[in-house]
Structure 1
Amino acid sequence: MEKNLLKTAFFLGLLFFGTASGFAQQRTYCNPMDISYRYNFEQLNERISYRSGADPVIVNHKGEYFLFVTISGGWWKSKDLVNWQFVVPDKWPMEDMCAPAALSVRDTLFLFQSTFEQRPIFYSTEPENGKLKFYNRWLPRLPKDIGPWDPALFHDPDTDKWFMYWGSSNVYPIFGAELDHRRRLTYLNPEPSKAYQPMFWLDPWQHGWERFGPNHSDPIKPFTEGAWMTKYNGKYYLQYGAPGTEYNVYANGTYVGKDPLGPFEYAPYNPIAYKPGGYATGTGHGNTFQDNFGNYWNTGTTWLGIVWGMERRIVMHPAGFDKDDQLYANTRFGDFPHRLSTKKWTNSNELFSGWMLLNYKKPVRASSTLDTLRAELTVDENPRTFWVPTKNKPGETLTSDLGADHDVRAIQVNYVDYKNTVFDSDSTVYTQFRLYASRDGKKWDKVADLTQQPKRDRACAYVELPAPVRARYVRYEHVYTAGPYVAINGFRVFGNGLGKAPATPAKLSVVRQKDQRNADISWEKVPGAVGYNILWGIAKDKLYQTYQIWNDQPNRLELRALNVGVPYYFAIESFNENGVSAVSEVIGVTQ
């Protein structure tokens, strides 16, 4: 009896400690990805300090995941796609890598950097331990400006042939080349001017989504970059990013062929990964990989651009091939919490947790405010607006009023580098805070405490609570970040309200313009809605694209992402704190 009581007391103590400190097993993730984004030397000469992550490649190597990101001084490893540990290589040959290519073949992981010079391919049989060796000493230099920049390595398991693809330009195409494995993966054709061939160019006059600028509105010639190859069902899917990293419409597309070097045909359902609305906009320049259950994922880059134009974060979305071999990535509620895979799923929507954003533009107050950098800028879902307290000291708080009791399930705190002076991610660079919840604003319960966890930097800190907490108020209490200022651009509370989901929007109208790349969309607003998802695709059962709109915005949208000559189908749904409506009737639009 006494033994059982002691066991019970011990278990309850562990449960309480896990609840208060956030140690409980995490079952969900939320974009932008919660990794230890690195400060780097990229802008040291300009004395501009920022954490950034871009051009991701996730490789499944012997059942463990490895994430490579531009100029990070190493890479990350994970066994579950959510808990990422940074790996410092035992030696870092040459210079740090920009937009690296990574590939796992049997027991070996290969790594290659973007370059216009002669550079080697590296390999590792122990990437989890940071072991890195030369596979070859260099690839021959190609003609001026050809690259290979933004490379991707590909091994065809059916033919045992090796290839490389690359391109990062608004002048040149995506290139491809076969590599000679017998000569340690140098170019198959030893003559540099003949070692490569063009795969395809952008065609923004036919493909609306390839146009540059916010919502594809800038006449600047667009950029293509970030090549990646996936083989599926005997077909070769050569993927690419466009039209440029600096705007909300950065996306991934694909061409499809029957041979690794083509010819390739443009996929009429492009883009395959597209997220122009919401908090974490942009999905371009990433890769497609499979998890340990056989599910596909598509990675990409989301844009911040506050401190520096190339300031970015990493996103990851469920992806797959449908019954017609159409490649897609699911970005519906793409920056809301999603479940981690625990099995092979049949519908990527299964991974959406159903936890809704609870504090969009709701009252929030701060313990102090520097100049005009106000607390309400943390709940407007705009990653380029942020709050700064007067000092970077423990005890500064943000308190979000949800307006009524809700079941809180998770909180995301996103930081930016306002007037920072940090240029290296050393032991002084880490993030700590506490989270509290209250029903009346007077009695507060601690629901998470990062001071009780191992120190690491978390620019996009996502905290899943071990159980739902009924609360009206949620509070962030600052403890520590490196640098002279605290700057938070997203204080995002997720969970479920106690009321009803909104009604399905009525009177959806889609009129395609004379310029078929564009369509004018309108609908009737729904009382009590927080926002809407416009869904579209090339068939009634292929509504893979999503454009998220907030209810306080106009109930109309000029969609400028369509392909000329392709018929489309559209539907709409609404959402609020309580859930999501049924999807409207699907309507077809040709001209």
Structure 2
Amino acid sequence: MPKNRLKYILILAFGFGMQFLFPQQETYCNPVNIDYTYMIYNAHKNLSYRSGADPAVVKFRDGYYMFVTRSMGYWYSKDLTDWKFIKPKQWYFQGSNAPAAFNYKDSVLYVAGNPSGTMSILYSDKPEEGAWQATPSILRQLQDPALFIDDDGKGYMYWGSSNKFPIRAKILDKAKLFKPSDTTYELYNLQPEKHGWERFGENHSDTILKGYIEGPWMTKYNERYYLQYAAPGTEFNVYGDGVYIADSPLGPFEYAPNNPFSYKPGGFINGAGHGSTVLGPNGVYWHFSSMAVNVNIGWERRIGAFPTFFDKDGLLYSDTYFGDYPHYSPAIGNKKGSFRGWMLLSYNKQVKTTSHVKEYMGQNLTDENIKTFWLAEENNELQQVEIDLEKPSMVYAAQVNYNDYRSDMYGKIPGLHHQYILEGSLDGTTWQVLIDQSTNQKDVPNDYVELSVPKKARYIRFTNKHVPTPYLSLSDIRIFGKGSGKAPKKPKNLSINRKHDRRDLMITWDLVKNAQGYNILWGIAPDKLYSSWLLYETNSLEIKSLNTDQGYYFAIESFNENGVSERSEPIKVN
């Protein structure tokens, strides 16, 4: 072959075809796998845990920046999937708290969120370098701020984190370096007597404590203003985001009938509240929000990412359907972040471990509950986990979720990394490597890896190589793919009883043979079933999140490791 032709082929391969040699990971899986910071503000209680919450995600020039509560810095991504931590040169000493961020015409990036509630607005035109300056204006008594600058250059600061006070706002004079107005505008507050989802407690248990309204975020779409807010409490499975809509930045605001628009009460990890909405690749919006771990303390959290849309009637909604299963990544064109169709192969499958401590048994690794965990007797390379999938299945991806058991680590610690090998076998004797992270140098506490080529396996073996914590502890090893059998049938005899308290509703149905679990879907119209609740094995569900003056439509489907059943026809409930 002539040298020039060979050179040309190599250039083409390197410049255009390397994705075939090193394919881009086309899926992601919640929780988002970033190097979460160890929190410091409960160190006096010897509570050591990672957390990431209250994400403010904005696009600035050629990429996206994500600011997260008390993380001692922030993350940068080109595609909303692969994130790199940036340690800033100037920053809030204890990290930002429930941060605000705004991109002003791609010239300046603004951030606010001092934990004290008294702050200047920081700004930078080189955030990728970590260089920041502060405006001289001091904003006071602001918890959970949200900065918004309208197209006409007028600035607004929204804030709120209280079970008493409403979402409030001030006008900011941008020409005077964000000097706030003397007037404070009170916009709206919780109405739990009308909006069931605003009630405090796990599953909106309606405790004597009032719910918290917090975390505002403003999105402008088609000349309308969508002011989002979180309720009722970050530690609960029902933490979600609602939205009020107006024709001007200060209202008057109208409650959206499909609230909460971001809601994920079921599945492996719960919660979809206190978030931010950003226009991502391919013209699709994404809502980044907080998800509860709540093992060491209620403030132990992770970040979730959900594709988000405005429907033909201007209603905002996030797609949390199968919200902690693999979905198409934001950068994958025409897929709009949709569910990939890979099912959970490992749910409740039998587990063998080389060791365990007390009640922290290996069976906790397949129970689809991030709050339970396995704890090994020792932290070394002899520790293994073996999962029997019961039948040969095609494995497409896996997620290894680490747990902080007495980690005794605080702050942003450089050099942390996790190393392991995941193998598959058809007979339990001959093994092939599925995922090799034995030389990994990245901090991956919720490591999701998509296989470059799917492999058939019945047995899965995890071998520990290195964890940065004193103890080896995992919450779940989740194996995704396609089983070799049939999807379950559609559930029958769906019965819906809306209670005298119209915020509450009970749903029952017949159990389906060979079903792992069910998705309950509901919404304000047959084509607006925007809310969903994934649950395993049971055939009843009490929903306490309804709005009293709203009728709803409900549908149900079943699923197992082989796929998803047909969905029932929506049933109307007035």
2:198 pairs with one of 210, 215, 230? 210
Q: Does 536-545 or 479-488 show the bigger shift?
A: 479-488
Q: Distance in 1 between matches of 2:89 and 2:307?
A: 33
Residues 341 and 351 of structure 1 are in contact (CA less than 8 Å); yes or no, is this contact kept in structure 2?
A: no
Residue 111 of structure 1 aligns with an amino acid whose one-letter code is V
Q: Deviations over 1:80-102 (max 9, x none)?
A: 21211110112225542111111
Task: Provide the secondary structure at the position in 2 that maps to 1:282.
Answer: strand
The residue that corresponds to 2:14 in the other structure is none
Q: Deviations over 1:332-353 (max 9, x none)?
A: 00000001134664x85x6211
Q: Distance in 2 between matches of 1:437 and 1:484?
A: 28
TM-superposed CA distance for 1:129, in Å, is 1.6
Residues 294 and 344 of structure 1 are in contact (CA less than 8 Å); yes or no, is this contact kept in structure 2?
A: no
TM-superposed CA distance for 1:451, in Å, is 3.0
Q: Distance in 1 between matches of 2:206 and 2:431?
A: 49
TM-superposed CA distance for 1:114, in Å, is 4.2
1:153 pairs with one of 143, 147, 156? 147
Q: Distance in 2 between matches of 1:439 and 1:531?
A: 26
Q: Deviations over 1:42-86 (max 9, x none)?
A: 222222111111111111111301111111110011112121111
Residues 49 and 422 of structure 1 are in contact (CA less than 8 Å); yes or no, is this contact kept in structure 2?
A: yes
Q: Deviations over 1:267-319 (max 9, x none)?
A: 11100001111011100101111113210111111111111221111101111
Matched, 1:295 2:281: no
Task: Provide the secondary structure at the position in 2 that maps to 1:293.
Answer: helix
Residues 163 and 178 of structure 1 are in contact (CA less than 8 Å); yes or no, is this contact kept in structure 2?
A: yes
Q: Distance in 1 between matches of 2:186 and 2:166?
A: 6
In the TM superposition, 1:495-510 aligns within 5 A as 495-510=481-496
Q: Does 287-296 or 114-123 show the bigger shift?
A: 114-123
The residue that corresponds to 2:558 in the other structure is 574
The residue that corresponds to 1:356 in the other structure is 343
The residue that corresponds to 2:480 in the other structure is 494
1:327 pairs with one of 316, 323, 339? 316
2:383 pairs with one of 387, 396, 406? 396
TM-superposed CA distance for 1:131, in Å, is 1.6
Count residues with an aligned counterpart: 565
TM-superposed CA distance for 1:424, in Å, is 3.3
Q: Does 216-225 or 529-538 show the bigger shift?
A: 216-225
Residues 56 and 70 of structure 1 are in contact (CA less than 8 Å); yes or no, is this contact kept in structure 2?
A: yes
Task: Provide the secondary structure at the position in 1 that maps to 2:541.
Answer: strand
TM-superposed CA distance for 1:562, in Å, is 0.3
Matched, 1:165 2:182: no
TM-superposed CA distance for 1:428, in Å, is 4.4
Task: Provide the secondary structure at the position in 2 that maps to 1:125.
Answer: strand
Q: Distance in 2 between matches of 1:84 and 1:324?
A: 34
Residue 174 of structure 1 aligns with an amino acid whose one-letter code is I
The residue that corresponds to 2:119 in the other structure is 119
Q: Distance in 2 between matches of 1:119 and 1:256?
A: 28
Q: Deviations over 1:476-505 (max 9, x none)?
A: 111111222011111100001122211111
Sequence identity of aligned pairs in percent?
44
Q: Deviations over 1:424-455 (max 9, x none)?
A: 332342211111111111111112222334x1
TM-superposed CA distance for 1:398, in Å, is 1.1
Q: Distance in 1 between matches of 2:305 and 2:400?
A: 18
Residues 295 and 344 of structure 1 are in contact (CA less than 8 Å); yes or no, is this contact kept in structure 2?
A: no
1:410 pairs with one of 397, 415, 427? 397
1:177 pairs with one of 165, 170, 185? 170
Matched, 1:557 2:547: no
Residues 222 and 243 of structure 1 are in contact (CA less than 8 Å); yes or no, is this contact kept in structure 2?
A: yes
Task: Provide the secondary structure at the position in 2 that maps to 1:45.
Answer: helix
Q: Distance in 2 between matches of 1:2 and 1:461?
A: 45
Residues 118 and 138 of structure 1 are in contact (CA less than 8 Å); yes or no, is this contact kept in structure 2?
A: no
Q: Distance in 2 between matches of 1:391 and 1:115?
A: 38
Task: Provide the secondary structure at the position in 1 that maps to 2:96.
Answer: coil
Residues 115 and 148 of structure 1 are in contact (CA less than 8 Å); yes or no, is this contact kept in structure 2?
A: no
Residues 69 and 98 of structure 1 are in contact (CA less than 8 Å); yes or no, is this contact kept in structure 2?
A: yes
Residue 73 of structure 1 aligns with an amino acid whose one-letter code is M
The residue that corresponds to 2:270 in the other structure is 281
Residues 114 and 150 of structure 1 are in contact (CA less than 8 Å); yes or no, is this contact kept in structure 2?
A: no
Residue 39 of structure 2 aligns with an amino acid whose one-letter code is N
Q: Distance in 2 between matches of 1:309 and 1:482?
A: 23
Task: Provide the secondary structure at the position in 2 that maps to 1:287.
Answer: strand
The residue that corresponds to 2:241 in the other structure is 252
Residues 195 and 548 of structure 2 are in contact (CA less than 8 Å); yes or no, is this contact kept in structure 1?
A: yes
In the TM superposition, 1:207-246 aligns within 5 A as 207-219=195-207, 220-246=209-235
The residue that corresponds to 2:446 in the other structure is 460
Q: Distance in 2 between matches of 1:377 and 1:209?
A: 30
Q: Deviations over 1:549-589 (max 9, x none)?
A: 112x2x11111110011010010111111111111111101
Structure 1 unmatched runs, 5+: 9-17, 142-146
Q: Distance in 2 between matches of 1:435 and 1:69?
A: 31
Change (3 A) 1:174 1:71: same
Residues 419 and 467 of structure 2 are in contact (CA less than 8 Å); yes or no, is this contact kept in structure 1?
A: yes
Residue 78 of structure 2 aligns with an amino acid whose one-letter code is K
Task: Provide the secondary structure at the position in 2 that maps to 1:284.
Answer: strand
Q: Deviations over 1:206-233 (max 9, x none)?
A: 0001011111013221001110011111
Residue 246 of structure 2 aligns with an amino acid whose one-letter code is G
Residues 392 and 486 of structure 1 are in contact (CA less than 8 Å); yes or no, is this contact kept in structure 2?
A: yes
In the TM superposition, 1:127-138 aligns within 5 A as 127-134=127-134, 136-138=135-137
Q: Deviations over 1:226-249 (max 9, x none)?
A: 100111112111100000011100
Residues 114 and 151 of structure 1 are in contact (CA less than 8 Å); yes or no, is this contact kept in structure 2?
A: no
Residues 530 and 550 of structure 1 are in contact (CA less than 8 Å); yes or no, is this contact kept in structure 2?
A: yes
Q: Distance in 2 between matches of 1:2 and 1:529?
A: 60
TM-superposed CA distance for 1:412, in Å, is 0.4
Q: Deviations over 1:27-50 (max 9, x none)?
A: 110000000011132222222111
TM-superposed CA distance for 1:382, in Å, is 1.1
TM-superposed CA distance for 1:138, in Å, is 3.3
Matched, 1:546 2:536: no
Matched, 1:437 2:421: no
Q: Distance in 2 between matches of 1:505 and 1:266?
A: 34
Residues 431 and 480 of structure 1 are in contact (CA less than 8 Å); yes or no, is this contact kept in structure 2?
A: yes
In the TM superposition, 1:307-318 aligns within 5 A as 307-318=296-307
Residue 229 of structure 2 aligns with an amino acid whose one-letter code is Y
TM-superposed CA distance for 1:124, in Å, is 1.2
Residue 69 of structure 1 aligns with an amino acid whose one-letter code is V
Residues 240 and 252 of structure 1 are in contact (CA less than 8 Å); yes or no, is this contact kept in structure 2?
A: yes
The residue that corresponds to 2:511 in the other structure is 525
Q: Distance in 2 between matches of 1:342 and 1:50?
A: 31
Residues 60 and 104 of structure 1 are in contact (CA less than 8 Å); yes or no, is this contact kept in structure 2?
A: yes
Q: Distance in 2 between matches of 1:380 and 1:264?
A: 43
Structure 2 unmatched runs, 5+: 10-18
Change (3 A) 1:81 1:140: closer
Task: Provide the secondary structure at the position in 2 that maps to 1:452.
Answer: coil
Residue 206 of structure 2 aligns with an amino acid whose one-letter code is D
The residue that corresponds to 2:16 in the other structure is none
Q: Distance in 1 between matches of 2:281 and 2:79?
A: 9
Q: Does 22-31 or 275-284 show the bigger shift?
A: 22-31
Task: Provide the secondary structure at the position in 1 that maps to 2:423.
Answer: strand
Q: Distance in 1 between matches of 2:439 and 2:310?
A: 42
Residues 209 and 243 of structure 1 are in contact (CA less than 8 Å); yes or no, is this contact kept in structure 2?
A: yes
Task: Provide the secondary structure at the position in 2 that maps to 1:31.
Answer: coil
Residues 370 and 475 of structure 2 are in contact (CA less than 8 Å); yes or no, is this contact kept in structure 1?
A: yes
The residue that corresponds to 1:12 in the other structure is none
